């Protein structure tokens, strides 16, 4: 006769198989191993391609050497600081505005009727196309750079938040009203939690849009920044410096995305995950 599978109480009072935690740990380890193998494999492919085409494609050793040189001569760290500041400010303002605007559009029909046409209108216009207008209206300082990044983050995040409110299960809202809950209570206790997964996805996409807009934003008379450094390297055909900029943006963007993903798991721990 086989032994029954033991169970343990979960935090919400239900009983969970004792095998669940080891299985999850094993799955996490396998995902980590696959991720590491993927990174190593990508670098190996890059290295092989650079060996086959040494005239135009710098390999990892050349890029690492250039990275050390830029750090040593005091060039890269100020560039990273300037670009990171612009992205963080633009992303914070854009997403900070997008969340309440998205909630208004999703919750109030009148607000949706007023704001949605303009949101969709500007959403199909690339933020890069706003750069000439931003220069004319705002000058060539930090304001137009941050404005373009803010616009890119806002337009992505607002749609995700708006869609999240629209996708809230109407049965839950109706049940709250039947039980006598006021609109504010329903909004706070039902709509906001149910919309969080969409909001967090919107934040991740908004962050990607902010970084994607950075290089073009630093076209606006910048004297420091990763995008500016890459543009200067393009003039002199300095491919290792361009690769240093690409890798730096990718690593910084990945780290910030992991932070948002960690916050997502904490805020939506109730959500069933695969």
The secondary structure of residue 3, as a DSSP letter, is P
Q: Which residue has the higher pLDDT, 27 or 204?
A: 204
- Residue 220: per-residue pLDDT: 72
Q: Which residue has the higher pLDDT, 131 or 92?
A: 92
pLDDT of residue 161 exceeding 80, the answer is yes
Ranked by mean pLDDT, which of 4-8, 81-85, 135-139, 213-217 comes out on top?
81-85
Cβ atoms of residues 221 and 231 within 8 Å: no
Q: Which residue has the higher pLDDT, 92 or 120?
A: 92
CA atoms of 2 and 215, how far apart (whole Å): 63
Contacts of 236 (CB under 8 A, 6+ apart): none
Cα dihedral 189, 192, 197, 202 in deg (nearest 10): -170
Helix ranges (H only) for the chain are: 20-52, 60-72, 76-107, 109-123, 131-138, 142-166, 170-178, 183-186, 192-217, 226-235, 239-267
- Residue 16: per-residue pLDDT: 46
The secondary structure of residue 190, as a DSSP letter, is I
Structure pTM? 0.81
CA atoms of 125 and 131, how far apart (whole Å): 11
- Residue 4: per-residue pLDDT: 46
Contacts of 247 (CB under 8 A, 6+ apart): 63, 67
What pLDDT, in 10s, does the model give residues 163-222? 888 888 888 888 888 888 787 888 888 888 888 889 999 999 999 999 988 888 887 777
Mean pLDDT, rounded, of the chain: 84
- Residue 182: per-residue pLDDT: 81
Q: At 88, list the tokens.
A: 């963080």
Q: Which residue has the higher pLDDT, 55 or 249?
A: 249
Cβ atoms of residues 252 and 246 within 8 Å: no
Q: Where are the domains of the chain?
A: 15-57, 59-267
Largest CA distance in the chain: 82
How many angstroms separate the Cα of 111 from the Cα of each of 9, 43, 102, 226? Answer: 46, 49, 10, 39
Q: At 100, list the tokens.
A: 């309440």
- Residue 36: per-residue pLDDT: 86
What pLDDT, in 10s, does the model give residues 121-149? 888 888 778 888 888 888 888 888 899 99
Q: At 60, list the tokens.
A: 């990892």
pLDDT of residue 75 exceeding 70, the answer is yes
pLDDT of residue 258 exceeding 80, the answer is yes
Helix ranges (H only) for 53-127 are: 60-72, 76-107, 109-123
Low-confidence winner among 73-77, 98-102, 211-215, 245-249 (lowest mean pLDDT):
211-215
Q: What is the per-residue burial (b if ≥16 Cβ within 10 Å, else e) of 80-113?
A: bebbbebbebbbebbbeebbebbbbbbbeeeebe
Task: Domain 59-267: give its CATH architecture.
Answer: Orthogonal Bundle (1.10)
CA 242, 248, 254, 256 dihedral sign is negative
């Amino acid at each position: 006769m086989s032994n029954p599978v033991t169970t343990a109480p979960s935090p919400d009072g239900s009983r969970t198989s004792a095998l669940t935690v080891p299985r999850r740990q094993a799955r996490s380890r396998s995902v980590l191993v696959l991720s590491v193998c993927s990174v190593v494999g990508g670098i190996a492919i890059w290295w092989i391609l650079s060996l086959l085409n040494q005239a135009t494609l710098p390999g990892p050793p050349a890029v690492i050497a250039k990275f050390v040189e830029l750090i040593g001569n005091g060039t890269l760290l100020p560039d990273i600081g300037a670009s990171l500041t612009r992205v963080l400010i633009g992303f914070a303002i854009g997403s900070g505005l997008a969340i309440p605007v998205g909630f208004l559009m999703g919750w109030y029909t009148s607000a949706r009727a007023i704001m949605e046409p303009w949101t969709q209108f500007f959403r199909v216009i690339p933020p890069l196309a706003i750069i000439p207008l931003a220069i004319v209206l705002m000058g060539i300082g930090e304001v137009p750079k941050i404005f373009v990044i803010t616009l890119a983050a806002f337009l992505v995040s607002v749609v995700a938040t708006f869609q999240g409110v629209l996708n809230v299960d109407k049965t839950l809202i109706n049940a709250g009203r039947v039980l006598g809950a006021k609109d504010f209570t329903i909004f706070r206790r039902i709509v906001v939690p149910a919309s969080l997964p969409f909001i967090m996805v919107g934040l991740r996409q908004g962050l990607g849009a902010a970084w994607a807009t950075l290089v073009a934003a630093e076209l606006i008379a910048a004297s420091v920044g990763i995008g500016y450094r890459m543009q200067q390297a393009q003039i002199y055909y300095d491919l290792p410096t361009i690769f240093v900029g690409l890798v730096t943006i990718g690593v910084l963007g990945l780290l910030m995305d992991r932070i948002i993903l960690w916050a997502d798991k904490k805020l939506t721990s109730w959500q069933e995950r695969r």
